[in-house]
Amino acid sequence: MSNFRKIFPLLDWAPTYSKSDVVSDLVAAIIVTIMLVPQSLAYAMLAGLPPYVGLYASILPLVAYTFFGTSRTLAVGPVAVVSLMTAAAVSQVALQGSPEYLTAAITLSFISGLLLIVMSFLRLGFLANFLSHPVISGFITASGVLIATSQLKHILGIKAEGDTLPHMLQQVYLQLNQFNIYTLIVGGAALVFLFWVRKNLKPLLLKFGTAPRPADLIAKAGPVVAIVLSIGAVVLFDLQSKGLKIVGSIPAGLPPFALPSFDAQLWLQLLGPAVLISLVGFVESVSVAQTLASKRRQRIDANQELIGLGTANLAAAISGGYPVTGGFARSVVNFDAGAETPMAGAFTAVGILLTTLLLTPLFKYLPQAVLAATIIVAVLSLVDLPSIKRTFVYSKSDFSAMAVTIVLVLLVGVETGIVAGVGLSMLLFLWRASRPHIAIVGQVPGTEHFRNINRHSVITHPALLSLRVDESLYFANARYLEDRIYDCVASHPKLENVVLVCSAINIIDASALESLEAIAHRLSAAGVGFHLSEVKGPVMDGLKRSDFFDHFKGQIFLSQFEAAHVLTGATT
Amino acid sequence: MSNFRKIFPLLDWAPTYSKSDVVSDLVAAIIVTIMLVPQSLAYAMLAGLPPYVGLYASILPLVAYTFFGTSRTLAVGPVAVVSLMTAAAVSQVALQGSPEYLTAAITLSFISGLLLIVMSFLRLGFLANFLSHPVISGFITASGVLIATSQLKHILGIKAEGDTLPHMLQQVYLQLNQFNIYTLIVGGAALVFLFWVRKNLKPLLLKFGTAPRPADLIAKAGPVVAIVLSIGAVVLFDLQSKGLKIVGSIPAGLPPFALPSFDAQLWLQLLGPAVLISLVGFVESVSVAQTLASKRRQRIDANQELIGLGTANLAAAISGGYPVTGGFARSVVNFDAGAETPMAGAFTAVGILLTTLLLTPLFKYLPQAVLAATIIVAVLSLVDLPSIKRTFVYSKSDFSAMAVTIVLVLLVGVETGIVAGVGLSMLLFLWRASRPHIAIVGQVPGTEHFRNINRHSVITHPALLSLRVDESLYFANARYLEDRIYDCVASHPKLENVVLVCSAINIIDASALESLEAIAHRLSAAGVGFHLSEVKGPVMDGLKRSDFFDHFKGQIFLSQFEAAHVLTGATT
């Protein structure tokens, strides 16, 4: 594949784009549009922004991803977790509802876009690998709980504020008596209806003979029904004059051309959150894209995905939107509805654009409580308790990172939670890497094999110590190896020779080289010989390039058998 | 060894402490005291503190280490690099010369002591392993250059300030014409004399028939001679009235009982530097202690060393001192002078105490220029250019971390330098860990062995792909493995089965488990079978504990040979 093709994955499918592809993509686009409109409005509200900003974030970003993304079926746009993170970040620097708040959200999107593109050029996509599954999973579960709780106030029609779970619950509890009955009826009805649609509509449709796929898609259009019905109810009963909060006037017309702020102070404040949003969004997006691509044996280029998501975020920033990424639910809908190429995304963008141009007057009367109900039903599916249990059973170390993430997200905040979780899992990783498995080996009787003395009955010799390190040697474990060897020497008074079996060593870095020299030097000072066996070719080349052999007085043996034979004078 | 004995390593040697040990320790203590007095005065000056603070830091800390340290011969006290780091940290929060400056230095010592003890309890000593050799070596070399340059002003008798190399050099250059001739003569003479002693005195003594060991020790007493001669010269020629700066009055008597500040703001400001000082001091100290211990086949317990150094720093904090650690030069002198037990340290403390009580009036006339010369001669031995060259030749990746450390220490500051160096080396480490060696293997003809298809001529089958991962599977490389497998599947259209050869996998963490499940799920969706071979016992136990086998449809083969045999129906 040429470089040009790599940068424009579009060139892979555009030349063979057929009429049947157009039809498939159009159908998928219509279905995704219907699903995306209420979601976009709702998630923008979750991010603390006017709902229509969610529509803006669902037009140009989709077009950008069509050009630069490698997934054929990923649907980008506002998603729940990133919206929550946006709210957390932006409310640190601006007051919700102020023009500065929107500017900060736009700027956050711009910085995230730039970061993703820079990460692509520096090939830093691997950084996302350090958000381990348990941390991501714990983070998403805790975010789901936090988001659902944050929407309670909209269902109740009260003014509870707060960033953390205890604070939110306390506020809801204190103001519970001030609830608005109309809001509660509309919001509660929407909640019950949406849960019913999610749980029972599909089985019902199947029972009445609908094919499984359309049944699934109809069930996913539930929010649209709720929206239409609730708008009707508001207009009919003039509910907004009775204290029910509605979305209100939406500026008609095209998304405005916007520019992020270039205030250095603001950039500095948003940089940390932008890094987290970029990484979390990237991980979420790529894992969705990969799941779908592998079903059709297609390929995702993670590095090019950084470009795709980066340009999507830049596109969001210049069209009055906020940070976007690939969403799970809508991508699956897109895939199931038969999308064949990223053109489905471009068609969806047209669908949202038409909605923005023509249908916004309708949304004026949409109750915020219904959007809140949409959010609650959507995010509760993020809460994954079985995964917590599985992790607990499988690995206490992984579970501790997960638990720290969950507890801190709920009690302190999303950013603290994910940073602490990643930090802890890296610390545990480094700790593990710093103490590799080191076995004292002896000869299996009657063979030339050497095995761990703790697992096999083997022949050893009091004057010879053979150590096998099951890991490459680098700075993280070099001193551990030194310690282990000095301990062994101190506890084996009859020792005359130490052999390091290097069969599992692929790299010896400069720190480990110094350690090997120190070991050789110190053992020699203590009158003990130090030798190597089974050194791999590339490692040997490296040692020869250094001045290691200028000082090394020991021998290098091709096999451990030879080493034992020569050093003990044994004849077995 | 009982826990009680572990906490008080003293109990290991005290019961058998003999008369001959007393004599050896006393002799060593006298020699170390003579060496330590000028060093303590000089390093305190380097830290921006009154010189006598260095004496205070060389009394109680030595006693604390005697009780809690595990090295028999380590000599703790003020050292050059830690003094420089103290100056860098404390001058951020207080004005040099003010009482707040001393309080901050004492507080820094207290925090470092606490951190070291906490690290011991949390078994975090392994963190020091992440200061790789190239980073530490580059850091010490650059610090040596920085320290030597910072002392030029004392030799010239000018007032040049500055924290970075370019700034210092510029200041010296601008004020060069204001030098004080008497200072320059005394400082220059001390410098020439000390260099001569270091280079030529020992060979000369050997030539005149002195035994090598006393010759070495006499050569190391050079600074004392310089101090005595220069004090004589100041008194005789009244040089301080001619602009030569002297140490000035030193409060006579015992070190004062001091308390660190408990101001939360100050602690927060000093926490970062204290972490760095603790780690750097610990690494320096432990590597010295290990070098010496292994010469006599003794043991160092790194975790107990944290306690030893921690209590030494707490002791420094309550007796008006500043951060201390085990020094290289003085420990070697202690060892060579025949110290047998840590009692030598306690005797040295008595020696310094007597000096403080009785000899301080003499030090009043000690020229600062002579102390500066002592520092310059001592630290230039820290500059290790061959090590830079060796690292460059051996490994470009290690060299880049070293170069970044050196350049940033010189141009920005000690803290930035070491943090960036450690950060870069960890990033390179993580990058390496995130992409393990993965080989496609095939059967070596006529054997049951499977080897890398790129290195050996082996038999493969178009419908079977066998992959061997030479690394445990965890979050850092789980997604990389997924990518590689999906790539392989996408590029092998005839593929029917994939086998993961697990012979080198010691751990599968929760992230990797999810990845394995995702791989199995996706390959199954694409109509490809996924199997494992040569799974180790403990790994298999873990998989069985999870619900992996509830969904896994593939087979587990004891050997790769069996896998290939069954899956291809081959008869070879």
pLDDT tens-digit profile of A381-408? 888 898 899 889 888 889 999 999 999 9
Distance CA A462, CA A459 (A): 10
CA angle (A390, A391, A397) in 5-degree steps: 155
Q: What is the 3-state secondary structure (H, E, C) of A388-413?
A: HHHHHHHCHHHHHHHHHHHHHHHHCC
Distance CA A300, CA A291 (A): 10
For B290, the closest of A397, A476, A486 (CB atoms) is A486
Secondary structure of residue A221 in the 3-state scheme = coil
Distance CA B473, CA B504 (A): 10
Q: State residue A202's pLDDT score.
A: 82
Split at pLDDT 50, 70, 90, the class of A1 is very low
Residue A46 Cα, gap to closest chain B Cα (Å) = 30
Q: Please check whether residue A483 touches B, CB under 8 A.
A: yes
Residue A132 Cα, gap to closest chain B Cα (Å) = 5
Q: State residue B132's pLDDT score.
A: 84
Token duo for residue A199: 């749980």
Backbone phi, then psi, for B79, in 5-degree steps? Answer: -125, 165
Mean pLDDT calculated for residue range B440-461: 82
Distance CA B521, CA B513 (A): 12
Distance CA B37, CA B75 (A): 13
Count the Cβ atoms, other than its own, within 10 Å of residue B22: 15
* Contact: A299, B431; criterion CB under 8 Å: no
- What percent of chain B lies above the pLDDT cut of 70? 98
Residue A284 Cα, gap to closest chain B Cα (Å) = 13
Region(s) of chain A under CATH 3.30.750.24: 438-568
User: Taking 80 as the threshold, does the pLDDT of residue A108 lie above it?
Assistant: yes
User: Taking 50 as the threshold, does the pLDDT of residue A73 lie above it?
Assistant: yes
Beta bridge partners of A438: A469
Q: State residue B150's pLDDT score.
A: 87
* Contact: A294, B523; criterion CB under 8 Å: yes
Mean pLDDT calculated for residue range B16-36: 83
* Contact: A390, B546; criterion CB under 8 Å: yes
With a CB cutoff of 8 Å and minimum separation 6, the contacts of A56 are A255, A256, A316, A319, A320, A321, A356
Q: Please check whether residue B130 touches A, CB under 8 A.
A: yes
Segment B220-261, tens digit of pLDDT: 777 888 888 988 888 888 888 888 888 877 777 777 777 888
The residue among A253 and B374 whose pLDDT is bigger is B374
Residue B295 Cα, gap to closest chain A Cα (Å) = 6
Q: State residue B5's pLDDT score.
A: 65
Report A:408-437 residues touching B (Cβ under 8 A). 425-426, 429-435, 437
List helix spans (H) across B122-221.
133-156, 165-175, 181-196, 202-207, 212-220
Query: How far, in Å, are A92, A103, A320, A321, B188 from residue A97 at the CA level?
Result: 13, 11, 15, 15, 70
Q: State residue B294's pLDDT score.
A: 67
CA dihedral sign of residues A275, A279, A285, A286: positive
* Contact: B294, A486; criterion CB under 8 Å: yes
User: B438-568 belongs to which CATH class?
Assistant: alpha beta
Distance CA A190, CA A196 (A): 10
**Residues of chain A positioned with their CB less than 8 A from the CB of B328:** none
* Contact: A132, B482; criterion CB under 8 Å: no
With a CB cutoff of 8 Å and minimum separation 6, the contacts of B444 are B450, B451, B456, B458, B459
Distance CA A554, CA A530 (A): 5
Q: Please check whether residue A469 touches B, CB under 8 A.
A: no
The residue among B318 and B72 whose pLDDT is bigger is B318
Distance CA B435, CA A199 (A): 42
Interface test with A, best of B126, B399, B427, B438 (most A CBs within 10 A): B126
> Closest by alpha carbon to B128, among B283, B276, B275, B327?
B283
Beta bridge partners of A469: A438
Split at pLDDT 50, 70, 90, the class of B572 is very low
List helix spans (H) across A127-164.
133-150, 152-156
Token duo for residue B495: 């593929």
Q: Please check whether residue A549 touches B, CB under 8 A.
A: no
Q: Please check whether residue A128 touches B, CB under 8 A.
A: yes
* Contact: A294, B475; criterion CB under 8 Å: no
Mean pLDDT calculated for residue range B31-49: 87
Residue contacts between A and B (CB atoms, under 8 Å):
179
Strands A450-452, B450-452: pairing kind = unpaired
Q: How high is the mean pLDDT of chain A?
A: 85
Interface test with A, best of B130, B509, B547, B551 (most A CBs within 10 A): B509
Q: How high is the mean pLDDT of chain B?
A: 85
Residue A361 belongs to what H/E stretch? Answer: helix A360-363
Backbone phi, then psi, for A464, in 5-degree steps? Answer: -125, 130
Query: How far, in Å, are A130, A477, B428, B442, B476 from residue B433 at the CA level?
Result: 11, 13, 9, 25, 7
Contact B86, B108 (CB under 8 A): yes
Contact B226, B370 (CB under 8 A): yes
Token duo for residue A406: 């969950």
Segment A531-567, tens digit of pLDDT: 999 887 778 888 988 888 888 889 998 888 889 889 8
For A132, the closest of B126, B431, B475 (CB atoms) is B475
* Contact: A133, B510; criterion CB under 8 Å: yes
Token duo for residue B365: 């006339």
Token duo for residue B296: 């006599």
**Residues of chain B positioned with their CB less than 8 A from the CB of A433:** 429, 433
Report B:494-513 residues touching A (Cβ under 8 A). 504, 506-507, 509-511, 513
Angle of helix A80-90 versus helix A99-121 axis, rounded to 10 = 120
Most confident segment among A503-507, B48-52, B309-313: B309-313
For the ranges B36-45, B225-234, B563-572, which has the lowest average pLDDT?
Answer: B563-572
Q: State residue B571's pLDDT score.
A: 45
Residue A225 Cα, gap to closest chain B Cα (Å) = 33
* Contact: A526, B295; criterion CB under 8 Å: yes
Segment A197-232, tens digit of pLDDT: 888 888 888 888 888 777 777 777 778 888 889 988
Interface test with B, best of A73, A488, A514 (most B CBs within 10 A): A514
* Contact: B291, A522; criterion CB under 8 Å: yes
Q: State residue A571's pLDDT score.
A: 44
Q: Please check whether residue B393 touches A, CB under 8 A.
A: yes
Q: State residue B486's pLDDT score.
A: 83
Segment A6-62, tens digit of pLDDT: 667 777 777 777 788 888 888 888 888 888 888 888 899 889 999 889 999 999 999
As for the ipTM of the complex, it is 0.70
Contact B277, B80 (CB under 8 A): no
The residue among B536 and A509 whose pLDDT is bigger is A509
Q: State residue B106's pLDDT score.
A: 94
Residue A290 Cα, gap to closest chain B Cα (Å) = 9
Residue B324 belongs to what H/E stretch? Answer: none
Distance CA B432, CA A474 (A): 11
Q: Please check whether residue B263 touches A, CB under 8 A.
A: no
> Closest by alpha carbon to B513, among B487, B539, B488?
B539
**Residues of chain A positioned with their CB less than 8 A from the CB of B525:** 294-295
**Residues of chain B positioned with their CB less than 8 A from the CB of A298:** 490
**Residues of chain A positioned with their CB less than 8 A from the CB of B476:** 129-130, 429
Mean pLDDT calculated for residue range B329-340: 80
> Closest by alpha carbon to B102, among B94, B112, B92, B110?
B94
Q: Please check whether residue B295 touches A, CB under 8 A.
A: yes
Mean pLDDT calculated for residue range A84-97: 90
Query: How far, in Å, are B114, B268, B287, B321, B495 from residue B278 at the CA level?
Result: 10, 16, 14, 16, 56
* Contact: B431, A126; criterion CB under 8 Å: yes
User: Taking 90 as the threshold, does the pLDDT of residue A314 lie above it?
Assistant: yes
Count the Cβ atoms, other than its own, within 10 Å of residue B572: 12
* Contact: B478, A129; criterion CB under 8 Å: yes
> Closest by alpha carbon to A412, among A230, A162, A132, A144?
A162
Residue B545 Cα, gap to closest chain A Cα (Å) = 6
Q: Please check whether residue B541 touches A, CB under 8 A.
A: no
* Contact: A126, B510; criterion CB under 8 Å: no
- What percent of chain B lies above the pLDDT cut of 90? 20
User: Taking 90 as the threshold, does the pLDDT of residue A192 lie above it?
Assistant: yes
* Contact: A133, B475; criterion CB under 8 Å: yes
Split at pLDDT 50, 70, 90, the class of A297 is low
Q: State residue A572's pLDDT score.
A: 43
* Contact: A510, B545; criterion CB under 8 Å: no
Distance CA B401, CA B416 (A): 13
Token duo for residue B63: 């006693």
The residue among A450 and A271 whose pLDDT is bigger is A271
